[in-house]
């Protein structure tokens, strides 16, 4: 306030006190003040809602990817089990000593006329060979 400053000079003329008061007001004029504005709660709520929606979309996409990978892995696992089962069942029917087809031994079935070994009883004849090599 200007009043205490002016009253402390009782010996000055009115004109000089007026000039002094004008100078004090000019120097002490309020500078523009900037007040910080906090974001409104509705704006914060909207930002949080958008962030939640984005995360929900990402979770949904990740869930789809995990499901697709699980299904793919399950198919491959079952295919592998199926192949192992078939390979085992085939290998049992193709034993070296067993007579599977036509009473021909394993070696003649595999190598035909080029067989070096033969397990008896084997009824292989050159005309029986059908080229299964």
Q: Which two tokens stand for residue 102?
A: 């036509």
Residue 48 inside a domain? The answer is no
Residue 53 inside a domain? The answer is no
Residue 1 inside a domain? The answer is yes
* Number of structural domains found in the chain: 2
pTM for the model stands at: 0.33
> How far is residue 80's CA from residue 83's CA, in Å, rounded to a whole number?
5
Residue 39 inside a domain? The answer is no
Q: Which two tokens stand for residue 44?
A: 């914060």
pLDDT tens, residue by residue, 57-88: 999 999 999 999 998 888 887 776 655 555 55
Q: Residue 117's domain spans which residues? A: 98-128
DSSP category for residue 28: T
Residue 89 inside a domain? The answer is no
Residue 63 inside a domain? The answer is no
Residue 9 inside a domain? The answer is yes
Residue 61 inside a domain? The answer is no
């Amino acid at each position: 306030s200007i009043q205490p400053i002016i009253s402390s000079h009782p010996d000055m003329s009115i004109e000089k006190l007026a000039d002094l008061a004008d100078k004090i007001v000019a120097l002490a004029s309020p500078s523009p003040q900037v007040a910080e504005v906090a974001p409104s709660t509705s704006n914060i709520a909207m930002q949080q809602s958008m962030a939640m929606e984005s995360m929900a979309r990402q979770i949904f996409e990740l869930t789809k990817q995990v499901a697709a990978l699980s299904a793919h892995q399950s198919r491959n696992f079952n295919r592998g089990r199926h192949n192992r089962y078939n390979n085992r069942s085939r290998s049992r029917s193709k034993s070296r000593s067993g007579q599977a087809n036509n009473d021909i031994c394993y070696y003649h079935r595999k190598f035909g006329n080029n067989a070096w070994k033969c397990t008896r009883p084997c009824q292989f004849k050159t005309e029986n060979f059908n080229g299964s090599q």
